[in-house]
Amino acid sequence: MNRTLNVERLYFLGQYQNIKFSNVLTDIPEHLAKDERIVSLLFFQNTLSCELAYRMYISVIETLVKEKKDPIPFIEEVREQTFAKLLEEISKADNEKILNDYGKKGE
C-alpha cells in the first residue's frame, strides 16, 4: 500500500494574520515509507519546500512595497514566469523519459 506524507507550515505575518503552506507527497511506495531514513529525508525536503515558498512569497511582497508596483500585474508576471519555468522543466523531463524509453527499446 502506498503512503502519503504531508507537511504544513503556518507563518505569522503580523497583525493577527497568518499564512499556511503545505506540501504533500503521495504514492510513496510502502517499502520506502517503512525506511525511517528515507521518510526523514522526505519530511525534511517537504519542510524546506514550504520554507522556500514562504521566502519567495515574502520576497514578492517586499518587492511590491519597495518598488511601489501595482500588485496584480506584478503577481501575474511572476506567476507567468513561474509557469514558463514549470513548462520548461516538464518538457525536459518528458524528453529525458522519451530518450530513456527509446534507449531501452534498442537494448
Indicate whether 51 and 63 sit together in one domain: yes
- Looking at the 3D structure of the chain, how many domains does it have? 2
CA distances from 32 to 16, 46, 47, 52, 57 (A): 40, 16, 18, 25, 32
pLDDT tens for the chain, residues 1 to 107: 789 999 999 999 889 999 999 999 999 988 888 999 999 999 999 999 999 999 999 998 898 889 888 888 988 998 999 989 989 998 888 888 787 887 776 55
Length of the chain: 107
Q: Are 85 and 60 found together in one domain?
A: no
DSSP-derived secondary structure for 20-81: EEEEEEEEE-HHHHT-HHHHHHHHHHHHHHHHHHHHHHHHHHHHHHHHT--HHHHHHHHHHH
pTM for the model stands at 0.69
Closest Cα partner for 61 from 100, 18, 99, 13? 13
Instruction: Clarify whether residues 36 and 48 are in a common domain.
Output: yes
Domain span at residue 36? Answer: 1-69
